[in-house]
Amino acid sequence: MRFTDKVCLVTGGTSGIGRATCIRLGAEGATVVVLGRDAADGDETVDTITKAGGTAIFLACDLAKPKAIAATVKKVVTKYHRVDVLICDAAMMTFEHLVDLPLEKWDLLMQVNLRSLAQLTQLCLPHMPKGSAIVAISSVHAHQTTASVVPYATSKGAMEAFVRGMSRELDFRQIRINAVAPGAVDTPMLWTNPNVKNGVETIDKATVGQPEELAAAIAFMASHEASFIHGTTLAVDGGRLAQL
């Protein structure tokens, strides 16, 4: 199995794409560290993995709090002494026009979506052995977006720039970094989006992906099979960007 004896840290592992990714990694032999804010959801993810014969733990972590991130990484390193795979999936959105958006919401979103990626990368890198991988979960909103989600789109565009820049600082034979950009995926984030609910953003249900499809792509990018892929973004969107 591709992740046997690998310690995989996944943010946003309590629902949607992150949860599906945790389950996929666990099924492929990983020791999965599930990060999220909700303990009940986290325990559910862990139970799913362990009942299938995998290994996982849940650690509560609010990515809006830098001290919590630092404490969480310290716990992981103390317990496992390394991080082989870092997957940054957790994200938040806002749904207001920029002129109406309190800048405190902008700051919070950037903290969760972007700064946490930088901090987790900074903290994990010293403990990542040769062959490790970082996968940041971006979005097609980095390339094709709608009104009222400017902060989210901005954070995802910056995330992809971060991946490109970090690829210049890392030797891909040691540690790789890439991004995966999902399109519309059947998750709570999609169906609770006010732009989707009010019809501003039209979603063809026939082209909505499943979390498991994204998990398969993320697992590939994190695996040794993607050893020559570095500093790029893989769009997993059912061809949405190809229609631009």
How does pLDDT run across 87-117, given as a tens digit for each residue?
999 999 999 999 999 999 999 999 999 999 9
**Domains of the chain by range and CATH?**
7-239 (3.40.50.720)
pLDDT at 207 (0 to 100): 76
Calpha distance 198→121 (Å, rounded): 37
DSSP lists the bridge partners of residue 9 as 33, 86
- Give the DSSP H or E segment for 166: helix 150-169
Helix (H, G, I), strand (E, B) or coil at 78: helix
Residue 85 in this model has a pLDDT that exceeds 60: yes
Share of the chain above pLDDT 90, in %: 84
Helix (H, G, I), strand (E, B) or coil at 140: helix
Residue 244 in this model has a pLDDT that exceeds 60: no
pLDDT at 117 (0 to 100): 98
Active site residues: 152
Task: Write out pLDDT tens, residues 122-157.
Answer: 999 999 999 999 999 999 999 998 889 999 999 999
Residue 120 one-letter amino acid: L
On whether the CB atoms of residues 34 and 58 are closer than 8 A, the answer is yes
pLDDT at 195 (0 to 100): 65
Residue 64 in this model has a pLDDT that exceeds 80: yes
